[in-house]
Structure 1
Amino acid sequence: MTTVDVEPLELPARLTSPPRLTQRHPWLLPAAMAAHRARRRTQWVRDAWSGRVVWASHRASADLPVRLKQHGSLLLRELAADQMHLQRNKVTNLRLAAQRIDGIVIAPGETFSFNRVVGNCTRRKGYVDGMKLSNGEAEAGVGGGICQIANLVHWMVLHSPMTVVERSEHSFDPFPDKGRVLPWGVGCSIVYNYVDLVVRNDTDRPFQLRTWVGERYLHGQLRTDERPTRSYKVEARGEQFLRRDGQVYRRNQIWRRVIDRRTGVQVGEELMKSNCALVVYEPGPGVEVIDVD
């Protein structure tokens, strides 16, 4: 470990605020979740009646002609033996969620809501106990693991001109980077129905999501009917592990570079997200942890 001058570590409020009431009294959690869900349902109805939001719901079986982005996400991570059954169950949950998303077309002016399209993941619908993250710890929960498909959709959308309206990240970094393909910090947290991934199509072209589960990978494609004049490169910058008061934090920034397809020249860039999370594992060899005040 080293001590160097670095930019001050400013922790987000979610990591510094006192424990929530439901953390101090877990028995209150079901009532709190019911209240959150009721507020979100009311918001959905209000938005629909006002005409402010048109929700994407049309599903097309035929592919739109242009494949804008595709990605494959490994289904099973190498975790402790007592957690692998949750990983296998996760595949069942991902298959059900992928079937709900596959073929959805986000027309011009429409908004895609992950929770509205996938719905509540219940046992009645065939969902099983998979791995969920709660306060940085893995635990069993019905529908656990569907965050992986939200991560996939978010990653593909970042490579398009669509607008991310709502996205919640995890407050914790739960696993080391072994086998990581996507930058840390582009994932999503999903809790039906009030922690959501919401994307709006402000362009004049339709976009289509294709998602399916293969033998080893969760697959996704983002398609459209006409190739845009610009492409996008998403990258992490300023990656750091910082130790303060005995706890390790990870931070970075997610940037998106805008490329002119015709010339290959970068025509712009934008900061998409600044991330900071509590690391709940001990960083291994080769990971520099900087001590800060």
Structure 2
Amino acid sequence: MPNPTRKLPVSLKPVPRSRLRLAAGRTYYTGRRYAAWLLGGQKYASHRQTEPLPHRIFRHGTILMRRLRDVDMQLQVNKVTNLRIAAERLDGIVIRPGETFSYWKTIGRPSRRKGYVDGMVLHYGGFKSGTGGGLCQMSNLIYWMTLHTPLEVSERHRHSYDVFPDSNRTQPFGSGATCSYNYLDLQIFNPTEHDYQLCVSVGEEQLLGEWRCVSPAIHTYEIYEEDHRMTQEYWGGYVRENVIRRRMIAPGGKVVDDREITRNRALMMYTPFLSPGAEE
């Protein structure tokens, strides 16, 4: 699996930017994405079917409602609404051999006209409310599941900020994929000879997803991290880093491949080293 992420920056010290510059940047990168969709030569997945393909390749679920410090729980409630709308567009999408799945091309622009409401949006190390907020949970889920399949992640964007301390973390730090319409996309290419189907749904307590296929899985995959560290920068901020790797395991337990997937480097927005007994 190729490493689709960009070169890590030398310094993560925040650089203030004006609203005008931010708006101009969004306009430029959004326009460039539309052009790539139209003229880039990719064959994008568009076929959907309601009947699931016969073989489950990998399944995962993530908790919908988390209590986060200083975050209004109503934004979490609204996030669930947004995830349900997005799931309706994504559920059943089939990636045929040679096709590419685009997260945003499949979902479309989140808008109030489509029923999206204000959810939590991460914004330059903090958070704010925004229409369609919370859809990163879906892209995180899809990315994590894809790492357990032969599908190739051709585009993924890491989170530049580590906003909240770990709370019952079950996956390595940096194993998600941030998204922002439409220039921060998640794209997945099917290099195999078989159809793969994405199935997602919103349950009572969890966002659920699975990859299915017309053929059973040959290999299993183990995702793990190494070189995890937290360091203080010369200007006072803290940075968190690690390397995500993947083992491919053949029937019988033999490791047939072990490679680096990506390197993560994020600016921490909380103090990482608390003294014993310190409160949040």
TM-score where L is the length of structure 2: 0.91
Runs (5+) with no aligned partner, structure 1:
1-10, 288-293
| Counterpart residue number, 2:31 | 38
- The Cα of 1:82 is off from its aligned counterpart by 4.8
CA RMSD of aligned residues (A): 1.8
Tell me the secondary structure at the aligned position of residue 55 of structure 1. coil
Partner in structure 2 of residue 102 of structure 1: 91
Measure how far apart 1:25 and its partner are.
1.4
For residue 25 of structure 1, the aligned residue among 15, 18, 24 is 18
Q: CA offsets, 1:199-246, max 9 Å, x none?
A: 000100111000010111000011111113211111111211112332
Question: Is the 1:14–1:171 Cα contact (8 Å) retained in structure 2?
Answer: no
- Counterpart secondary structure, 1:109: coil
Shift of 1:78: 1.0
Runs (4+) off by over 3 Å: 14-18, 284-287
1:183 aligns with 2:172: yes
Conserved 8 A contact 1:235-1:255: yes
After superposition, the Cα gap between the structure-2 partners of 1:165 and 1:216, relative to the gap in structure 1 and judged at 3 Å, is same
* Residues 205-284 of structure 1 mapped to structure 2, 5 A cutoff: 205-245=194-234, 246-261=236-251, 263-283=252-272
**Partner of residue 93 from structure 1, selected from 65, 82, 96:** 82
SS for the counterpart of 1:54 is coil
- Correspondence for 1:56: 45
Output aligned runs, 1:157-168, within 5 Å: 157-168=146-157
Measure, in 2, the Cα distance between the counterparts of 1:66 and 1:123.
Answer: 37
Q: Is the 8 A contact 1:110 1:200 kept in 2?
A: yes
How many angstroms does 1:286 deviate by? 8.3
Alignment coverage as a number of residue pairs: 269
Counterpart position of 1:203: 192
Aligned AA for 1:189? T
Conserved 8 A contact 1:111-1:200? yes
Question: Which residue pairs with 2:4 in the alignment?
Answer: none
* 1:59-138 equivalences in 2 (<5 Å): 59-80=48-69, 82-138=71-127
Deviation at 1:283, TM superposition (A): 2.2
> C-alpha separation between the residues in 1 aligned to 2:162 and 2:56?
32
Determine the C-alpha separation between the residues in 2 that align with 1:125 and 1:14: 40
Deviation at 1:28, TM superposition (A): 3.5
Q: Deviations over 1:5-50 (max 9, x none)?
A: xxxxxx932744773xxx4211333333122111111111112xxx
Farther-moved stretch of structure 1 (197-206 vs 234-243)? 234-243
Letter in 1 for 2:271: E
Aligned to 1:13: 9
Question: What do the CA deviations read for 1:84-110 (whole angstroms, capped 9, x no partner)?
Answer: 111111111111111111000001111
Whether the aligned pair in 2 keeps the contact of 1:15 and 1:171 (CA below 8 Å) is: no
Segments of structure 2 that go 5 or more residues without pairing to the other structure are 1-6
Moved more, 33-42 or 169-178: 33-42
Cα distance change on mapping 1:284 and 1:79 into 2, 3 Å = farther
Q: 2:205 & 2:148 partners in 1: Cα distance?
A: 24
Report which of the two has the higher share of helix: 1
The Cα of 1:188 is off from its aligned counterpart by 1.1
**Pairwise CA distance, 1:184:** 1.0
1:73 and 1:252 mapped to 2: Cα distance?
Answer: 22
| CA deviation after TM superposition for structure 1 residue 253, in Å | 0.6
Q: Look up the equivalent residue of 1:13 and give its one-letter code.
A: P
Report how far residue 81 of structure 1 moved.
Answer: 5.7
Cα distance in structure 2, aligned partners of 1:134 and 1:14:
21
Give 1:140's match in structure 2, choosing from 95, 104, 129.
129
Q: Is the 8 A contact 1:64 1:223 kept in 2?
A: yes
